[in-house]
Amino acid sequence: MSKRIFNKEQIKSLLRNPNISHCSEKSISYKKDFKILAIKEWRKGLPAQEIFRQAGFNTNIIGKKTPKECLFRWRKIYNERGKAGLENDGRGKSKSGGRPKIKWKNDQDKIKYLETEVAYLKAENDFLVALRKKR
């Protein structure tokens, strides 16, 4: 993830570009049509920075590496999931990422699981206390 932070003026400037759907202090969301066009132009051999410059982006604001990084990511998504995959490029709300949600069949199963977890954590704490005493 980039460490750049956009100020209010930069955000206003970026939002004037018709290829941007959203912009915050830390991120830019590009329109699907621009992503597809950029991939097609890149496949023709046009450099990533040139594609972004022609689309009206200032690489001093968005970052010099951003065009190439975006195109690598978009091309991968396009190859895996097609045009529909570029609507939401998969960042942020991943179905496979993060801690899995536990769905309980009933309250008894939930209570049993939580009691087991409490017992495990108590045993872990006892182990750590014993380990600290040995020192």
Establish if 2 belongs to a structural domain: no
pLDDT, position 90: 54
Residue type, 59: T
Pair 30, 67 in one domain: yes
Express each pLDDT in 76-96 by its tens digit.
988 888 888 887 655 555 556
pLDDT, position 53: 93
Q: How far is CA 109 from CA 42, 61, 100, 116, 117, in A?
A: 53, 53, 17, 11, 12
Express each pLDDT in 41-67 by its tens digit.
999 999 999 999 999 998 889 989 999
Residue 2 near residue 63 (C-beta atoms within 8 A): yes
Q: What is the count of structural domains for the chain?
A: 2
- How many Å apart are CA 131 and CA 129, to the nearest integer? 5
Lowest average pLDDT, out of 37-41, 49-53, 94-98, 119-123, goes to 94-98
Pair 31, 79 in one domain: yes
Better pLDDT: 35 or 87: 35
- How many Å apart are CA 51 and CA 71, to the nearest integer? 10
- How many Å apart are CA 52 and CA 32, to the nearest integer? 14
Lowest average pLDDT, out of 1-10, 24-33, 84-93, 100-109, goes to 84-93
Pair 22, 76 in one domain: yes
Better pLDDT: 20 or 90: 20
- How many Å apart are CA 129 and CA 80, to the nearest integer? 50
pTM here is: 0.63
Secondary structure (3-state) at 22: strand
Pair 28, 52 in one domain: yes
Residue range of the domain that includes 129: 100-135
Structural Rg of the chain based on CA atoms: 24
